[in-house]
Structure 1
Amino acid sequence: MTELRQKSCRPCEGGVKPMSLTQARELMTQIPKWTLEETGPALFRTFRFANFYETMSFVNAIAYIANREDHHPDLRVGYKECVVRYQTHAIGGLSDNDFICAAKIDALEI
């Protein structure tokens, strides 16, 4: 279990600076299957599944995590895949919350 999975998100309504790319790159070591989109900046990962049912089950699990943490991703859902993208919109960049939720989603993999 990574350190990030043990944390909980903290409310972020703006008024704080987004993390630097250096800080983001350091945290990427804890979520190596994700990609850092530096131009956003944002985190994203594509998950692939055998069928639509598995895809939607995964999306529902993400919804549970997002509501529990009160931090919500952008999702692109297709028949056999789901692209998950995190960025803290209130600050226009990345926060710890994005990395915490990405790590919790990684824990869903079987």
Structure 2
Amino acid sequence: MTVPLSRAELLTRTSTHQTSPAYSVAAITEQLETLPGWCYEAGFLQRTYRFTNYYETITFLNALAYVLHREDHHPELLVTYNSCVVRFNTHSVEGISINDFICAAKADAVFGQTYR
């Protein structure tokens, strides 16, 4: 990756099977600048979404599951009463790929459409 993609560019893309090498930490850091709220931690792109109650949390989770199932890219999720931690990495490259950034942008879009 030489130039980070904008959030808008990420949203127009679709996840595909990845065989290219995982992104370097420098490339991850650079691309993360386009996704406020996300961080790179322990080999994952990660963000915590906060809600006012369990119903909102589960509503977000269901909408997110629908979108990401269509992308065929599935995160690790930690769900509590009023939060959902979303963690992405790409198993086929044993690290972070463009798919993780595409799906992170789409998770933000799901959150933004419902809770902002």
TM-score greater than 0.5 by the shorter chain = yes
Partner of 1:80: 82
Instruction: Work out the CA distance in 2 between the residues paired with 1:3 and 1:66.
Output: 17
CA deviation map 1:15-70 (0-9, x unaligned): 43211111111111111210111xx3211001110111100000011101111100
- Deviation, 1:77, is 0.4
Instruction: Work out the CA distance in 1 between the residues paired with 2:34 and 2:62.
Output: 24
Counterpart amino acid of residue 59 in structure 1: L
Q: Is 1:18 the equivalent of 2:22?
A: yes
Over the residues paired in the alignment, what is the CA RMSD in angstroms? 1.3
Alignment of 1:49-88 (within 5 A): 49-88=51-90
Q: Is 1:8 the equivalent of 2:10?
A: no
Partner of 1:104: 106
Partner of 2:32: 28
Task: Give 5+ residue unaligned stretches, structure 1.
Answer: none
Question: Match for 2:45 among 34, 43, 46?
Answer: 43
Instruction: Work out the CA distance in 1 between the residues paired with 2:74 and 2:80.
Output: 18
Instruction: Tell which deviates more after alignment, 15-24 or 79-88.
Output: 15-24
SS at match of 2:74: coil
SS at match of 2:104: helix
Report the TM-score, using the length of structure 1 for normalisation: 0.89
